Structure 1
Amino acid sequence: MLAFKAGDARAFEKLVQRHRTPVFNFILRFTGHRARAEDVLQETWLKVVRSAREYEAKAKFTTWLYTIARNLCVDSARKESYRQASSLEAPTGNGAGGDEGRALGESLPDTGASPERGAYNARLRPLIERALASLPEEQREVFLLREYSGIAFKEIAEVTGVPENTVKSRMRYALEGLRRRLAELGVDGDLADDGRTVAG
């Protein structure tokens, strides 16, 4: 980012290549809408470009980037008069790349898990997405930043603008809520206790 700030356009390409997918996945899970997520992602990168001159390396670049993305997600949610909690389970129906009829949640990039784990997660993903959608927004965003994007609690506190202890409490409540909702959906306690599986 400092190289881009100094005028190196190729540095911006590297930033986008490195962070595009995880930031998009965070935005997609936050908004639950592919078209909105793509718009918010574009706005995020535009804001990075426009704010480059003011950027200072006080915190990690990822903290700054996710703060921008999160704030734009919140703004986007406020502008929408409706929310579709099950949209990640809805068929994409766009026909692009043979994805016709596949759930949006299933079209997210795979992280290279083993075939057995991949099959297990493919079966569970709709249930996990439904459980995630049932969480209050402040708990869901902490869970997504921590488990899907790998952001540390301290950085999440900076991104969300709340104390670190509040972030940890929200994470605890999110995990409890997910365990409860997954149990209601027929997922056994062992799975619900495995944070890696929930996040997988």
Structure 2
Amino acid sequence: MRESPANPFRVVPHPAREHGDPPIESADKVLARAAAGGDVVATRRLLERVAPRMLRAVRAVLGPAHADVDDVLQQALIGLVQALPSYRGECEPVHFGARIAVRAAMAARKRARAAWARHDDGADAEAVVDLAPRPDDDAREARRRAVVRGLLEQISEEQAETMALRFMLGWSLEDVAQATGAPLNTVRSRLRLAKEALKKRIDADAALREELEVDP
């Protein structure tokens, strides 16, 4: 009896994963592991994929028109490459990179404010750091974002990082927890403390309350 010819278009299903099998890695995680091992092509491709999100993170913390956005992004990209050997796949590489970008931008803000404080020429340091908002920005919303950015320098690094990832980048609590390596309840606690600090900052400034239309 002759065997039927094999169907070249037959789809062979992947075998079901057994309990305990390692999870299937995303393409970006595979790239990150290759880049961590010194693969130059993988490194270039990874940077191309994560750079736009890292740029967004830098702009969110510094302000979209800040003069140092490009320089800080380059520092963050270098920091990402240097940190890849420590990457364990606990979060997606784009989140790993965005966290590095947020921290680089917060450090840049602190350096800029410290430099202006040393000069003490009467300039408004917050205005210098944030510069002008984009023309299409609503003025009040731009001011709110500037207040939050300024607050990042006045609270703990952990609270500032958590607030930036959650409110400036719009991450879920779970994404923040994975990227920072903190338990979910710790993330919630950091956010609560950061919001309390923001409320105190606004409550203490009557002009700011009026400008932001916040009830006392």
Alignment size in residue pairs = 169
Residue aligned with 1:59, SS: coil
For residue 25 of structure 1, the aligned residue among 59, 63, 75 is 59
Which protein has the larger Cα radius of gyration, Structure 1 or Structure 2? 2
Partner Cα separation in structure 2 for residue 12 and residue 132 of structure 1: 27
Deviation, structure 1 residue 84: 6.4
**What residue ranges of structure 1 are gaps of 5+ in the alignment?**
91-103, 194-200
Tell whether the 8 Å contact from 1:27 to 1:70 is kept in structure 2 after alignment: yes
**What residue ranges of structure 2 are gaps of 5+ in the alignment?**
1-27, 118-123
Tell whether the 8 Å contact from 2:159 to 2:194 is kept in structure 1 after alignment: yes
Q: Quick check: which one's helix share is greater?
A: 1
Q: Percent identity?
A: 24
Residue aligned with 1:88, SS: helix
State the one-letter code of the partner of 1:88: E
Tell whether the 8 Å contact from 1:139 to 1:170 is kept in structure 2 after alignment: yes
State the one-letter code of the partner of 1:44: A
Query: Which residue of 2 is the match for residue 169 of structure 1?
Result: 189
Matches within 5 A, 1:4-153: 5=34, 7=41, 9=44, 12-16=47-51, 18-26=52-60, 28=62, 35=68, 38-49=70-81, 58-70=90-102, 82=114, 87-90=125-128, 104-107=129-132, 118-124=138-144, 126-153=146-173
State the one-letter code of the partner of 2:62: L
State the one-letter code of the partner of 2:50: L
Deviation, structure 1 residue 178: 0.9
Partner Cα separation in structure 1 for residue 85 and residue 150 of structure 2: 41
Change (3 A) 1:41 1:184: same
Tell whether the 8 Å contact from 2:58 to 2:102 is kept in structure 1 after alignment: no
Tell whether the 8 Å contact from 2:62 to 2:109 is kept in structure 1 after alignment: no
Partner Cα separation in structure 2 for residue 57 and residue 147 of structure 1: 24
Partner Cα separation in structure 2 for residue 129 and residue 109 of structure 1: 16
Residue aligned with 2:126, SS: coil
Tell whether the 8 Å contact from 1:89 to 1:129 is kept in structure 2 after alignment: no
State the one-letter code of the partner of 1:61: P
Tell whether the 8 Å contact from 2:166 to 2:172 is kept in structure 1 after alignment: yes
TM-score by length of 2: 0.55
Tell whether the 8 Å contact from 2:160 to 2:194 is kept in structure 1 after alignment: yes
Partner Cα separation in structure 1 for residue 76 and residue 165 of structure 2: 16
Aligned Cα RMSD in Å?
Answer: 4.2
Deviation, structure 1 residue 185: 1.6
Tell whether the 8 Å contact from 1:179 to 1:192 is kept in structure 2 after alignment: no
Partner Cα separation in structure 1 for residue 106 and residue 152 of structure 2: 17
